[in-house]
Structure 1
Amino acid sequence: MKKKYHLFEVYGIELEYMLVKNDTFKVAPIVDKLLTSKAGKLIADIENGDIAWSNELVAHVIELKTNGPAKSLDNLSKKFHANVLEMNRLLEPLNTKLLGSASHPLMNPNTDTQLWKHSYSEVYALYNTIFNCKGHGWSNVQSTHLNLPFYDDKEFEKLHAAIRIVLPLLPGLCASSPILECQITGFKDTRLEFYKTNQKEIPDLTGMVIPERVFSKLDYYATIFEPIKRAIRPYDKNKILDQHFLNSRGAIARFDRNAIEIRLMDIQECPKADIAICAFVIEVLKALVNKEFCTLQTQKSWTKQDLFLILDDAIKNAEDSKITTIEYLKLFGLNTPVTLGEVWNHLYQHIKPKLHKSHYPAIELILEQGTLATRVLKALEKDPSEKNIIAVYGQLQDCLQNNTLFQP
């Protein structure tokens, strides 16, 4: 039986990166070659000390993750970065390099998507049959996943309540997908705009992105897992899809490993930014669990519909999203209408003393200069020509290589 951990005792972080050709800047569906060149043969999951490598649904995306639960976030940025450097060295002879950010700005998903053809391929093939995984919502959506443990129902209740109310705020910190197919989309978090509907064929899987008001294992199974199982049954004749795998809400309960996985964070330009954001979000969640702003009952009272309205505007406007719902702002100790960016500034002042100093520069740059989406748009200066996009995203590749934040 797997060891169970208490709230905030350990953390799990997953980062997804695109492989991009140096000469054409097209996505490079050669993750199998990268894994082979690391291991000497094709292995889908490679343990590399404290970090593990694994494939994803599409053949141009690789995932780096903590190899088991991590006790601290303080040195994780350096560990992830060391693995990025190793991957880029292995990709050099293949004329390919890693790229951060949540969506490739030039990719045409209909012509450029190749699904992973090796392990788990029957699962991916079935998904493709049901949903057609060639759309942007499947093949061009790189994210950061944060896994947080809970020990029992009591801890699950507190953690799920806190996470649900923080989800609508995340695009104001993490949005990094303002461009698709050479177009400024009008959404700073276009990844999440697709996330809302990419499983529209079976609406029970994603729900309203914000999870339902369920605060025990029994309730979660009855309210979320059972409808998912019923909805997938006609499609999954051989019963190969797992309910944990199918649940696509913005935060999912993993009772198989007693954790909640937050999935609404766009990946950033470098691990330093991602780990700082994760550390920031964790401290905000701790403050909520400790009832520093409001009671547990108040947190639990918010419906998915009301939270989704706030999230939906944040997907479009990120840190510039205006929040006028005073009752929501009171959850975080505010009582006048403010922007999402101002909410994060307020939260940062509150939790800053508890945060490791190594995270200050990254968070302060994001709070002062805007989300990565905002900084990319500023750098493009309203010129989304292919040449200009490649120049700007080439700088993002340098940021990943050097583990530095992007400044236009």
Structure 2
Amino acid sequence: MSSPRKPLHLFEAYGVEMEYMIVKNDTLEILPITDKVIYDVAGKFDSDVELGDMAWSNELVLHVIELKTNGPARTLTGLIEKFQAQVNHINQLLQKYNARLLGSGAHPFMDPYREMCLWPHEHNQIYEAYNKIFDCRGHGWANLQSTHLNLPFANDEEFGKLHAAIRILMPIIPALSASSPVLDNQVSGFSDTRLEVYKSNQKQIPSIAGKVIPERVFSKAEYEQKIFKRIYADIAPYDEDEILRDQFLNSRGAIARFDRGAIEIRIIDIQECPQADIAVLSAVIETLKALVAERWVSVAEQQNWKEDDLAEILWKVVKDGQQAEINNPAYLKLCGYDKGDTCTAKELWQHLYDTILTASIPEESTRQALAFILQNDTLSARIVKALNGNPSPEKIKAVYEQLADCLKEGKQFLG
């Protein structure tokens, strides 16, 4: 999210990024031609294409294209239509390549060791540096698609409040957003397989991703000292040219971008269509607003939570999705849940939906899309249900063809 001259305050604007796979129409195999798509529009192999208030850009791998707001958007209203229009535009361009876009957090049968192609053009030296150190052929690098939400802060005080609230909410976000149940043509057993493989993709240098939930740091100086300084020191022996010595090196599930005046939430699997993504983002934003406003507990109490305690809940949700049991009464109190000492992640989100989200999300279509997720479970669970105990390669391909149709038509997947 680019910073305008005047700093944006909390919740004054939103930067949204959605990553999609390019796949072949007939086989659904990945097709590494993002550079060709960008060339078709820009006339050169740029890493970014600006199209009014929207933009496209490359990612590390050549079969993924990112669609995003071109700078901060003042509201989420209208973004469903804007993102869907970009999807339609790219799908049109892809017709001559016999290809189309596909959503969801991971490709179900890509072989990253055989098929991974790095972006070869502008900024390639960054991707080559990552590949040299970490070998990007694994699923945790080459096969994961997410929706990123950038939220602004204007000063240290706002950063401290926002970072605290984001840390608190992160453990239960995958109960709405998980969409990656299949890897290597097999149901993985994880609701959010993308996050499960993501957490260990830089295991040679553990400090880069940390516990995925960020540490208890609530000022720029503290962040520089406890996070940036450490990861820069740890990467230094592997990165002699200092190509990766930048804020983007931080790979936690939410990262501070002080150069942009924003925190970027990276824990969200992309959904089947923009309508579903904006519904998830709306739920996240409105719940964060309530936390920042101290609706249930003080900011100080939120800041007191250690990353290990939050991560324990996160990995339960990554495994079991909406059915994950949250048996930590102190955590439930953070969200105002007072119906008992334990509940499922679904019950907790239903509580948030009933108490704040129905009133705070203005668009009825977005509320309905969110209600659809709560009623019918995560996209991950819906995919597994559609496979109906028969995850043969043919069945998996058929289900993901339906997902590609959902993206084209802008509708949610029931299964």
Shorter chain as normaliser: what TM range?
over 0.9
CA distance in 2, matches of 1:288, 1:320: 24
Partner of 1:403: 410
Does residue 394 of structure 1 match 2:394? Answer: no
Cα distance in 1 between the residues matched to 2:406 and 2:155: 40
- CA offsets, 1:271-304, max 9 Å, x none? 0000111111100000000011111111011100
* 1:364 maps onto 2:371 in alignment: yes
Q: Corresponding residue for 2:226?
A: 223
Gaps of 5+ in 1: none
Select which of 150, 153, 156 maps to 2:153: 150
Q: Aligned letter for 2:36?
A: K
**Partner in structure 1 of residue 353 of structure 2:** 348
Cα deviation, 1:302-322, whole Å, max 9, x if unaligned, reads: 100000000011110011100
Determine if contact 2:105/2:269 at 8 Å carries over to the other structure: yes
- Partner in structure 1 of residue 382 of structure 2: 375
Question: What is the TM-score when the length of structure 2 is the normalising length?
Answer: 0.97
Does 1:114 pair with 2:89? no
Task: Tell me, in whole angstroms, the C-alpha distance in 1 between the residues paired with 2:272 and 2:223.
Answer: 35
Q: Is 1:339 aligned with 2:344? A: yes
Residue 2 of structure 1 and its aligned partner are, at CA, apart by: 4.1
Amino acid at match of 1:290: A
Matched with 1:269 is: 272
Determine if the alignment matches structure 1 residue 48 to structure 2 residue 24: no
| CA displacement, residues 18-68 of structure 1 (integer Å, 9 cap, x when unaligned) | 000112211000111111112223222000111100000000000001001
Question: Could you say which residue in structure 2 is the equivalent of 1:252?
Answer: 255
| Distance in 2 of aligned mates of 1:220 and 1:25 | 42
CA offsets per residue over residues 182-230 of structure 1, 9 Å max, x none?
A: 1010001000001111010111100000000000000000000000110
Structure 2 unaligned spans of 5+:
none
Alignment correspondent of 1:39: 42
Contact 1:74 1:358 in 2 (8 A): no
Q: Quick check: 2:373–2:379 contact (8 Å CA) kept in 1?
A: yes
Counterpart residue identity of residue 252, structure 2: R
Deviation by residue 1:160-189 (Cα, 9 ceiling, x = unmatched): 000000000011000000000110100010
TM (norm. structure 1) is: 0.99
In structure 2, what is the Cα distance between the partners aligned to 1:240 and 1:375?
41
Q: Which residue of 2 aligns with 1:181?
A: 184
Q: Given residue 58 of structure 1, which amino acid in structure 2 is its aligned partner? A: V
What pairs with 1:178-327 in structure 2 (closer than 5 Å)? 178-327=181-330
Amino-acid identity (%): 53
- C-alpha distance after superposition, 1:364-407 (max 9, x if no partner): 00000000000001111011111111111111111101110001
Q: Could you give the per-residue CA deviations for residues 100-142 of structure 1, whole angstroms, max 9, x where no partner exists?
A: 0000001111111111111111110010010000100001110
Query: Would you say the 8 A contact 2:164–2:303 is kept in 1?
Result: yes
Match for residue 79 of structure 2? 76
On the 8 A contact 2:46/2:121 being kept in 1, the answer is no
Deviates more, 1:36-45 or 1:93-102: 36-45
CA contact (8 A) 2:173 2:267 kept: yes
Distance 1:53 1:9 in 2: 23
Alignment-mate amino acid for residue 377 of structure 1? V
Work out which of the residue numbers 151, 171, 175 in structure 2 matches 1:168: 171
